Structure 1
Amino acid sequence: MTPFGSKLWLFDGPAVTGAAGFKFPTRMAVIELPGDAGLWVWSPVALTQDIHHAVDALGPVRHLVAPNTLHHSFLAEWAAAYPGARVYAAPSLTEEVAGTAIHSTISDEPEAAWAGAVDHVIVRGNKITTEVVFFHRESATVLVTDLVQQIPQGWYRGWRAVVARLDMMTAAVPSVPRKFRMATTDKDAARDGIRRVLEWPFERLVMAHGAPIPSGGKKALRQAFDWLMR
């Protein structure tokens, strides 16, 4: 557990294996909402005993968030461990795929449960996934899942290292992987979403697959999407 700004903590989980045997580092964010609204958990990682105890020490888990259709692997085990929590899912993530009940599909409207503390923008136009990007006001932090990545160089070996380099998954700076760029078929929709994200007054940037950026996050995100916004 790593504090990352006011009322926000980061947890690194074990790697997960995706298509073609590619392993991905995982990261979860936990936000303490104001008042008695409880904890807001973004992109849950594997619920180990250590993580379970650390989260419980922070407060009651009341909100579980799957930010896109690719980050749901551990949603069901968290929902089972915290039956009083409400599950929120990105558009197109179904209960059948998630393996658990979904209480609310995130829309363009503010979520009453966290409005005023956490803002969100749905970034549309990508064929791989529709991602919801979040902004935690108190810590001035933006949370992105797969649209921007910076997996450490040396994470992959052999042919996977070559593919990851060509895909820009392991670029020297946070980048939108080439596969996501190619899958952005509605650039106007994607551009509108990123424009609204860049309007937020944020300084910090958290990526599910990359080192957190404690300062200069907006500059890094703007550079990552230069190919789309110019």
Structure 2
Amino acid sequence: MSDKLVPANPVDVMVIRDITPNITTLSVPFLRFGRIEIGGRCTIVRMSGGGVLVFSPIALTPEAAAVVTRLGGENGVKYLVAPDIEHHIFLSEWLKAYPTARIIGPEGLAEKRAATKGKDPRVNVNDNFFAVLADNRSQPMREPQSIAPDFDADFGLVYFDMHPNKEIVLLYRPENILIEADLMFNLPAIEQYQRVDPTTRVGVPGHANLVNRIFQTVMRTQGNLVWARRFQWYFASSRDRARFNEGLSVVDSWPFEKIIPCHGETIEKDAKEVFRQVFAWHFASKKN
């Protein structure tokens, strides 16, 4: 059940930060499999035509609602983006508060939610999806995917349908900022654990959590990246590496200057170079 996956006290642990005047992030602690500190992050973006887009919704606290009001005004939430088949737990909560919001998600997510058969109180299996990104291996990754005129005006989109989690990656055009979920982590999750009592954490010194330590090494963007590259090469892209590489090339062609990931630290300096270093094997393979 989803209650085992999310913080029981989001108000007490949420870190709210303005990345730019148009983008605010909501960061919280999050344990994968109850043992790995990866953190979670929701990104709220002011849209040019009014309202906001919410990428990877987390708990809708009064503070989170205040961010929507500040950035979106009376237009509220225009779009709720479930960036992959894993990041969807709070869609229903947000849609109930903002019933005119349009849900965007990957193919298979609606079916995954329906499979809960109403047993998970956080998931309303009757929520309607406005746009479902289809697994279409005949469509070139470079071919633009249109959602709606107001969305297309502000965002570029690449859908990695071959990724195990089916990743939706966005470029916020007005400020050249890349927003993504599980395509690339940037651990450790320092900001996301900023308000957590250190003595309760599994990842602090003194806790014999080998799995957590290994995962932190694999999912980083600094230092020796051989394990990060191996993960991307042998796992994330293994289903269709050629198509995965094509998607990376499209993202690399975007003029992004910052990366906001769902897991780990926001990358605010040399973001394009960090991206290229993590996926260096993929870019090198295209040249050979």
What's the TM-score, normalizing by structure 1? 0.87
Amino acid at match of 1:161: N
What do residues 207-228 of structure 1 show as CA deviations (whole Å, max 9, x unaligned)?
Answer: 1112112231111111111122
After superposition, the Cα gap between the structure-2 partners of 1:162 and 1:3, relative to the gap in structure 1 and judged at 3 Å, is: closer
Structure 2 equivalent of residue 27 of structure 1: 41
Bigger Rg, which one: 2
In structure 2, stretches of 5+ residues that fail to align are 1-15, 114-122, 135-143, 191-201
2:18 maps to which residue? 3
The Cα of 1:152 is off from its aligned counterpart by: 1.4
CA contact (8 A) 1:174 1:221 kept: no
Deviation at 1:179, TM superposition (A): 4.7
Q: Is the 8 A contact 1:191 1:229 kept in 2?
A: yes
Post-superposition offset of 1:8: 1.6
Name the CA distance, whole Å, in 2 between partners of 1:216 and 1:174. Answer: 17
Contact 1:149–1:177 under 8 Å retained in 2? no
Deviation per residue, 1:14-50 (Å, 9 max, x gap): 32343354343111111111123x1111111111222
CA distance in 2, matches of 1:174, 1:135: 27
Q: Is the 8 A contact 2:36 2:211 kept in 1?
A: yes
In structure 2, relative to structure 1, the CA distance for the partners of 1:62 and 1:150 (3 Å cut) is same
Partner of 2:109: 93
Quote the residue 1:147 is aligned against. 183
Q: Which residue of 2 aligns with 1:104?
A: 131
Deviation at 1:161, TM superposition (A): 2.6
* Number of the residue aligned with 2:269: 215
Q: Which moved more, 1:40-49 or 1:98-107?
A: 98-107
The correspondence for 1:132, drawn from 132, 146, 168, is 168
**CA pair 118-6 structure 1, distance change in 2 beyond 3 A:** farther
Counterpart residue type for residue 160 of structure 1: V
1:87 & 1:95 partners in 2: Cα distance? 14
| C-alpha displacement of 1:173 | 5.6
Shift of 1:96: 4.5
Q: What is the CA distance between 1:192 and its match in structure 2?
A: 0.4
Backbone CA RMSD of aligned residues: 2.4
Q: Deviations over 1:141-166 (max 9, x none)?
A: 00121121122178724223333145
SS in 2 for 1:138: helix
State percent identity of aligned pairs: 24
Aligned residues: 226
- Conserved? CA contact 2:46–2:53, under 8 Å: yes
The residue that corresponds to 1:229 in the other structure is 283
Higher strand share: 1
Deviations 1:39-98 (A, max 9, x none): 111111111222122322322111100111111121111111211111111233125526
Question: In structure 1, the residue corresponding to 2:92 is in which secondary structure?
Answer: helix
Q: 1:159 aligned to 210, 221, 228, which one?
A: 210
Matches within 5 A, 1:31-50: 31-36=45-50, 38-50=51-63
Does structure 1 residue 58 correspond to structure 2 residue 74?
no
Q: Distance in 2 between matches of 1:173 and 1:84?
A: 45
Long gaps (5+) in structure 1: none
* 2:234 is equivalent to residue 182 of structure 1: yes
**Where is the helix percentage greater, Structure 1 or Structure 2?**
2
